[in-house]
Structure 1
Amino acid sequence: MSPSARRLALAFAWLALLALAGLWIGRQLEMTGDLRRFMPAARTPAQKLLIDELGEGPGSRLLLVAIAGDEPAALAAQSDALRRALATDPRFAVVANGDDAGLEAIPERLRPYRYLLTPSFDARALDADLLAEALEERVQDLGSPAAALIEPLLPSDPTLETLALADAWQPEHLPQRLHGVWFDRAGRQALLLAQTHAAGFDPTGQAEAVHALRAAFAQVRGDSASQLELSGPGAFSVEIGGRTQREASLIGTIDSFVFIALMWLAYRTWRAPLLGGLPLASGGLAGLAAVALTSDGVHGITVAFGFTLIGVAQDYPIHLFSHQRPGLSPWTNARALWRTLGTGVASTCIAYLTFFVSGVEGLRQLAVFTIVGLATAALATRFVLPALIDADGPGAFRDVAASRRLARLWDRVERWPRLRAPGYAALAALAIAVAALMPGSFWQNDLSRLTPVPADALARDARLRAELGAPDVRYVIVLQGRNTETVLQASERLRPALEAARTEGALEGYDLAARYLPSAATQRARQARLPSPEALDAALSQALAASPFQPDAFAPFAADIERARTAAPLRATDLARTPLASTIDGLLLQRRGHATALVSLNGIADVAAVARIAERHGAQLLDLKHASESLVAAYRERVLWALALAAVLLALTVWASLRTPRRVLRVLAPMALTTLLILAVLRAFGVELNLFHLVALILAAGLGLDYALFFDHAGDEREEQLRALHATAVCSLTTMLVFSLLALSTIPVLRAIGSTVALGVVCNFVLALLIVRGPAQGAHATETSR
């Protein structure tokens, strides 16, 4: 077999192996969207609630729905049809639009418990006088338009406690009703509330619910011109995820074309982009496989960030190609570059290795992905890629050192003044001063400022939330105890104070589990007040004497009273598979040996007053915005400590490779100076730094170290300097164009990473030339020979 045939066979074998690996990984990979994997361990009660519990809470699972664009009657019909369509969808726990479906909250098997759930008989006994009044009212009701609703309930519920409970369980502030369903104040939008089973921290589940809701609306709308508006945390997460995916796909496509075009222009052979992509693809698949084998689920952020971070691996074949020349064995070339390339790879991996001490599962996954990916790409470049390079044939790489344009460019570079130690010390001092003294906050702790959701969408969310009386997602009262009974009793003691606060205007409304499920103690007290069978028979006989009802008409009522009087108190577990279960589960959180009751709030006008009420009753008002900010600060502190450790390990790695203090300082100086300059420029433009800037700084540092190492590797030999210049220029251009596109993104996360790395590429390249390059020896002789 000829050498060219062997190379072609090896290339196809490599591609086949990648395809098989991709198929295997596709079957093994389990994607997850739980954002809590990228959160640090909670330390305060508010942080614990935010991470471990609030993702299951009512506010985070609500989708606010508005239908507009048609006549009110048509909108009401669509609202009702949409509610019926979603009521059987397993992705939704509750869908409400103000119709008269409240009776469904109490299934038939639990109807007798209404006498333990209702407060109607707490102040007044269920005696003959009360029954007589109730029967008189029922006679009037049967002659009213409500007869069709009341008549089926009458034999078992003459006091209509079922309807009383359904009414009491309605939201505190209901929108107006037109044509039997909720509408906004202007009467132009039909409103619905949809509560998902998926937690707020589950973007995948939220996306499925949103897509199901939109699909159901498309069916019920028919030919109408009406339009659907969605808001709420789930809707925002879907919008963010969709926009991020679209922009990332577009940027990835452009990146591929840029890489192919630049590789062809740089080496003038189609083999360069084809061969150059193989180590990067190998690294990506190896990283995915490593995460799949070491974790029970791979987060989508790990995949997205991982492929961004291992983008530095595209530089490895570029260095090999730029240093290749006719007559030089590719294996010899790879071996000569390996010490320098390996030092850069090891240093970058060390930086990501520190993510293991961050205490964050998502960052550990990211570290595994990046380290394995970079190492695989480097090893593939060293031990496999040379076998595909033709040293002397028609497909051989030309010697870039023979380029006259590159020589003229290097001549100009050599006229630049070399930056000495006093110069870059002064530059570092200036950058530190700018970064430290610029006005405004240095760090950005507000997670809401990272959202790409437009301001008008946030305003619409606030308006719909006010119309529907949805709970506030910032403040929540927390009561904690040994078990659910403890926290339910505490909730009952707190409720009168909250009612007084609402009357005084400190808040507009609240919701708590005890509103639906009284404590066992309260239920037992109500059982004790229910009449015995003999007393009830006597009271019924007396009440029926003056009514048109038959003496035996209310036998089912007597049976329900007796069942309620002798039943065990209703517990939260008894509500499983009922409409009440989702409401209770969101407000009553049970763990082994511990329970938490949440009180959701809306329309808080006096935060201090509500906080005092909570404190007096052994509860705590949590500001989840403050909790998220403190969590971010704690997260950042751990990452900064990890980066400090990385800096020390990185310096030791470079020292182990170069062994000369002067060379080590020259190689590390551009990277360190670039980091300071990036911080100074960002702060000069008023940018508050976030966690994504830190991740981007690591990537920029890895790139800068590679540039400096290869300029140091070139030494003072002019031809090697030209090859190093060509390699780093091609690497810089490809990286610069990709991250410049990211910097133009509408997604704050992508924009932060893109602007930081793009700025870092420019600074690293220029500073490496100013600091690391050595004076060329024999330049005049080389020019004369040409």
Structure 2
Amino acid sequence: MSAHKRLAFALLWLALLALAGWLLGSRLELSGDLRKFMPSAQTPAQKLLIDELGEGPGSRLLLVAISHGDAGDGDAQTLAAQSNALRTALAGQTLFKLVANGGDSDLAAIPERLRPYRYLLSPTVDTQAFDRAYFAGELAQRVQDLGSPAATLVEPLLPRDPTLETLKLADAWQPAAAPQRLHGVWFDRAGREALLAVETRAAGFDPQGQQLAVDAIRAAFAQASGDSGTRLTLSGPGAFSVEIGGRTAREAGWIGTLDSLIFVALLWLAYRSWKAPLLGGLPLASGGLAGLAAVTLLFDGVHGITIAFGFTLIGVAQDYPIHLFSHQRAGLAPWANARALWPTLGTGVASTCIAYFTFLVSGVDGLEQLAVFTVAGLGVAALATRFVLPGLIDPEPRDVAASAWLARAWSRLARWPRLNRTACVALAAVAFAIAWWAPGAFWQNDLARLTPAPAAMLERDAQLRRELGAPDVRYVIAVTSADAEGALQALEQLHPALDALRVDGRIGGYDSAARYLPSRALQRARQAKLPERKALQRAFAGAVATSAFAPDAFAGFVDDVQAARAAIPLTPRDLEDTPLAATVAGLLLERGDHATALVSLSGLRDPAAVARVASAHGAQLLDLKQASESLVAGYRQRVLWALALASLLLVVTVWVALRQPRRVLRVLAPMALTTLLLLATLRGFGVELNLFHLVALILAAGLGLDYALFFDHAGDDRAEQLRTLHALIVCSLTTLLVFSLLALSSIPVLRAIGTTVALGVFCNFVLALLVTRQFARDEPSTVDAATTLESP
């Protein structure tokens, strides 16, 4: 094939990739639900944790703070005005279920259509008869209210609600630790920040929905604040996902750009040809698109983490064409070169694919996606290198083995001592001891610390939650029943015991759905206690006659009570589009064939006593921190079992390829030693290992196996050793620089992976050189051959 035809074919390949990418992009459905990377929940606490993580109101809550920022301590009245303006702007948008800043009238929790139900929602009739004496006392109190500063609030309610049942309800529904109010809206304790709580309709890990919500809040704030210099702070799971998504996209942009430039520059310098970077990128791009296509076809929605990690993991495929380029020389047809390299290259590809293929048995949807993406991507990249790329390579290139600088480098490296069995065992023992006995926990079990959010964002979120009076996030009482009605009745039976715990000081307070929505049974019981129209009219008329009020001042009262007597009891569905809906939905989770009612606790001082009370009433005190730790531990156990299986299959694959115990040991030793050294380094610096470290260790191990296989493939032929050294220098430099860039990321997860893999690349290259390389036929031995790993 002529040079022009090769170039035309390369451009055609590139065009087909661009077309495939466009078609795939138009059909790609991204998912941001982190539950896809969680194992299946086994315990009630784990199931609750997983449900809340993705769909619960807690994941939908955005915390908003307005402050004067760099402008210093400005007046609180300006902040209050902007808080009200922001609330008004957001309240009418369909993106949000609830927008609260404490500035609403307390009556907003009870919309007009539900006002007659106040007598069914309030506990007044449980202990108080609606008789003449009761009404007389209430009317006397109203006369005093009208002469107080509260008159403007009370007067509009009196015609229909002389007992102020609406205000009693609104007061009872206020959270025990609500933030202070200044100028009618919520503020932090220092009075420097106006606070709002916003619940989105989109789930917390719906990146598109949360992006729209965040953009709407920022746009509304920009309009409300004008040029006042105030600053908006957003926090919560949705804000984290938007911030991290944007930051990841920005960093991926500059890292990807630098990565591409480094790849192009290194290949141009290594092969002195502008064609090398173009041809070298084609198998990698083919593999990436193939992996993405495979996941798109086999799964409903591709997780963003799958794409991010998948393209990182198949980065090893950039090594495949480099080996082909470095071993090509005049007199050797490219197809023959590919055939000669294929047993070694294929063994490395098969071993790496096996490592990731075992994720399919992990039982975790996200890891299964990652396995499919990586295996398909690496397989296609390798096959493209073997069966397509040789047709594009110049059959008469410069032989890198003739390079003077490479010969000098090899001569210097040849003087390095080889590691014998004793040295390898000693190094492994020291690394194992450091990793095992280093102070601190070996594994990171805190689910919150697996988030890519920086520590400063998490601290700010915790601060805002404290200021808004959020309940204890660790402990919660769960009551499970067949339906919402059964769960509400169980809560009503539990309330007296919780009240006793509060009186004893074992808890500071509690909240449950039954505080806002009584069961239908309790509502019917209260209906039965409401007097009929004539009896009510007689009792109330007698009370009015002895009061300062006109006889016709309360025309709507009797009608409201009669409406309550005849009303169909309220259910959670009846609360839709009211402020109560979000509150009740967060505490009463209906999941098809069952319902779970939650009791949030504040000021918990005696978990054991609360657990006993809960158990006595058929409920359960759940420790969500313990649940998250057990979930992470179970996740890790699945991954470790998958890796154990992968290790066994990897040894079998290398054995089938090499068939000689000493060669197998020589190839596997650098990878094993590097893994131990990485573990020792991480643990020595006090790092607690998590899933992301495991992913990085797998990637580093795959690279190490590749380096060792090609050093073994070179044998004792000096020219082949030089070509192998050239290929591995280019491969390792490219990978080292790419992951060093990743180590500079501001996102902790990416930084951890970048640092681990960069260190692994260096260790793998050095150890493969010291353990696997053989003496060239014309190389003088400086070590007794009988002591080396490959010696007979």
Structure-2 change in CA distance of 1:608 and 1:232 (3 Å): farther
Cα shift at 1:431? 2.2
Separation in structure 2 between the aligned mates of residue 624 and residue 448 of structure 1, nearest angstrom: 11
Cα displacement (A) at 1:309: 0.3
Is 1:286 the equivalent of 2:290? yes
Work out which of the residue numbers 167, 176, 184 in structure 2 matches 1:163: 167
Q: 1:361 aligns with which of 349, 362, 365?
A: 365
Q: 1:238 & 1:195 partners in 2: Cα distance?
A: 15
Render the CA deviation track for 1:345-393: whole Å, top value 9, x for unaligned: 111111100000101000000111111111111111112212221223x
1:380 corresponding residue in structure 2: 384
Within the candidate set 239, 242, 247, 2:243 is matched to: 239
Shift in Å, 1:582:
1.5
Residue matched to 1:325: 329
Q: Who is 2:643 aligned against?
A: 643
Partner amino acid, structure 1, of 2:301: G
CA distance in 1, matches of 2:266, 2:718: 24
Q: Distance in 2 between matches of 1:452 and 1:110?
A: 44
Instruction: Label 1:743 to 1:454 Cα distance change in 2 as closer, same or farther (>3 A).
Output: closer
3-state secondary structure, aligned to 1:121: helix
Question: Are the structure 2 counterparts of residues 50 and 16 from structure 1 closer, same or farther at C-alpha, using a change threshold of 3 Å?
Answer: same
Q: Deviations over 1:36-86 (max 9, x none)?
A: 000001111111111124544444433222222231221111010111111
Could you tell me which residue of structure 1 aligns to residue 258 of structure 2? 254
**Partners in 2 of 1:508 and 1:225 — Cα distance?**
39
1:178 and 2:182 matched: yes
Conservation of the 8 A alpha-carbon contact between 1:477 and 1:620: yes
Q: Hey, what's the Cα distance between the residues in 2 that align with 1:33 and 1:592?
A: 24
Q: Distance in 2 between matches of 1:590 and 1:73?
A: 42
In structure 2, the partner of 1:783 is none
User: Which residue does the alignment assign to 1:312?
Assistant: 316
Residue in structure 2 matched with residue 775 of structure 1 by the alignment: 775
Distance 1:570 1:678 in 2: 61
| Corresponding residue for residue 734 of structure 1 | 734
Aligned residue in 2 for 1:610: 610
Q: Give the drift of 1:147.
A: 5.0
User: How has the CA–CA distance of structure 1 residues 683 and 140 changed in structure 2, closer, same or farther, with 3 Å as cutoff?
Assistant: closer
For residue 80 of structure 1, what is the amino acid of its counterpart?
Answer: N
The corresponding residue for 1:691 is 691
Cα separation, 2, equivalents of 1:101 and 1:277: 63
Which amino acid counterpart does residue 520 of structure 1 have in structure 2? R
When residues 503 and 219 of structure 1 are mapped into structure 2, their CA distance, relative to the original with a 3 A threshold, is farther
Within 2, Cα distance between the matches of 1:53 and 1:686?
A: 32
Give 1:537-576 correspondences, 5 Å limit.
Answer: 537-547=537-547, 551=551, 553-576=553-576
The answer (yes or no) to whether the contact 2:35–2:53 under 8 Å persists in 1 is no
Match of 1:268 among 262, 266, 272: 272
Structure 2 partner of 1:40: 39
CA distance in 2, matches of 1:12, 1:254: 23
Contact 1:251 1:741 in 2 (8 A): yes
Give the stretch that moved more between structures: 479-488 or 193-202: 193-202
Give the whole-Å Cα distance in 1 for the aligned partners of 2:522 and 2:390: 80
- Conserved? CA contact 2:477–2:599, under 8 Å: yes
Alignment partners' CA distance in 1, 2:212 and 2:684? 42
Q: Mind listing any 5+ residue stretches in structure 2 that lack a counterpart?
A: 69-73, 781-792
Determine whether 1:723 maps to 2:728: no
Q: Structure 1 residues 679-688 or 266-275, which shifts more?
A: 679-688
Q: Indicate how the Cα distance of structure 1 residues 204 and 498 shifts in structure 2: closer, same or farther if over 3 A, else same.
A: farther
Shift in Å, 1:152: 4.2
Distance 1:665 1:187, change over 3 A: closer
**Does the 8 Å CA contact 1:59/1:472 hold for their aligned counterparts?**
no
Q: Give the counterpart letter for 2:776 in structure 1.
A: A
Aligned to 1:51: 50
Aligned to 2:61: 62
Change (3 A) 1:54 1:33: closer
Q: Secondary structure at the match of 1:122?
A: helix
Does the Cα contact within 8 Å between 2:655 and 2:661 map onto a contact in 1?
yes
Match of 2:783 in 1: none
- Report the TM-score when normalising by structure 1: 0.94
Deviation at 1:551, TM superposition (A): 4.5
Match of 2:600 in 1: 600
Equivalence for 1:522: 522
In structure 2, C-alpha distance between the alignment counterparts of 1:330 and 1:124, rounded to whole Å: 96
Change (3 A) 1:356 1:514: same
Cα pair 1:452 1:746 within 8 Å, conserved: no
Matched with 1:81 is 85
- Of 281-290 and 566-575, more deviation after overlay is shown by 566-575
Q: Which is further off, 527-536 or 302-311? A: 527-536
> Structure 1: which 5+ runs fail to align?
781-786
The aligned residue for residue 137 of structure 2 is: 133
Segment drifting more, 128-137 vs 139-148: 139-148
Q: Residue in 1 aligned with 2:750? A: 750
CA distance in 2, matches of 1:125, 1:492: 21
User: Alignment partner of 1:499: what SS?
Assistant: helix
Deviation at 1:736, TM superposition (A): 0.9
Aligned to 1:511: 511
Q: How far apart are the structure 1 equivalents of 2:189 and 2:764?
A: 59
Q: CA deviation at 1:540?
A: 2.6
- What amino acid is aligned across from residue 659 of structure 1 in structure 2? R
| Deviating more after overlay: 261-270 vs 449-458 | 449-458
In the alignment, residue 71 of structure 1 is paired with which amino acid? Answer: D
Mapped to 1, the partners of 2:8 and 2:207 lie a distance apart of 44
Task: Give the structure 1 partner of residue 17 of structure 2.
Answer: 18
Partner of 2:65, secondary structure, is strand
Distance 1:491 1:366 in 2: 43
The residue aligned with 1:710 is 710
More moved, 726-735 vs 109-118 = 109-118
Give the Cα–Cα distance (whole angstroms) in 1 for the partners of residues 65 and 159 of structure 2. 39
Counterpart-to-counterpart distance in 2, 1:172 and 1:413: 72
Which residue pairs with 2:789 in the alignment?
none
Counterpart-to-counterpart distance in 1, 2:673 and 2:630: 30
Shift of 1:115: 1.2
Partner amino acid for 1:189? Answer: E
Contact 1:716 1:776 in 2 (8 A): yes
Q: 1:501 to 1:232 in 2, by over 3 A?
A: farther
Q: Check 1:54–1:501 CA distance in 2 against 1; reply closer, same or farther (3 A cut).
A: farther
* Farther-moved stretch of structure 1 (66-75 vs 31-40): 66-75
Segment of structure 1 superposing worse, 362-371 or 100-109: 100-109
> CA deviation digits over 1:427-484, x for unaligned, max 9?
2223222222222221111233345655555444344323321223222221112222
Q: CA deviation at 1:779?
A: 6.2
Distance in 2 separating the partners of 1:596 and 1:693: 36
> What displacement does 1:733 show?
0.7
Equivalent pair of 1:474/1:623 in contact (CA under 8 Å)? yes
Equivalent position amino acid for 2:275 in 1: R
Greater alpha carbon shift after TM alignment, 556-565 vs 80-89: 556-565
Are 1:676 and 2:680 an aligned pair? no
SS of match in other structure, 1:631:
helix
8 Å contact from structure 2 (residues 57, 199) kept in 1: yes
Please give the alpha-carbon distance, in whole angstroms, between the structure 1 residues aligned to 2:293 and 2:241.
Answer: 27
Distance 2:463 2:680 in 1: 40
Bigger drift between 218-227 and 531-540 goes to 531-540
Cα shift at 1:426: 2.9
Identity %: 71
Equivalent pair of 1:56/1:586 in contact (CA under 8 Å): no
| TM-fit CA distance, 1:136 | 3.9
TM-score by length of 2: 0.93
The answer to whether residue 507 in structure 2 is matched with residue 490 in structure 1 is no
Contact preservation (8 Å) 2:52, 2:58:
no
Which is further off, 235-244 or 464-473?
235-244
1:385, 1:460 → 2: CA distance? 52
Q: Is the 8 A contact 1:35 1:202 kept in 2?
A: no
Q: Deviations over 1:723-771 (max 9, x none)?
A: 1111011101111111122233332211221122112111211121122
Cα distance change, pair 308–624 in 1 and its aligned pair in 2 (3 A):
same
In 2, distance between residues paired with 1:208 and 1:604?
37
Query: Quick one: distance in 1 between partners of 2:621 and 2:223?
Result: 43
Q: CA deviation at 1:103?
A: 2.5
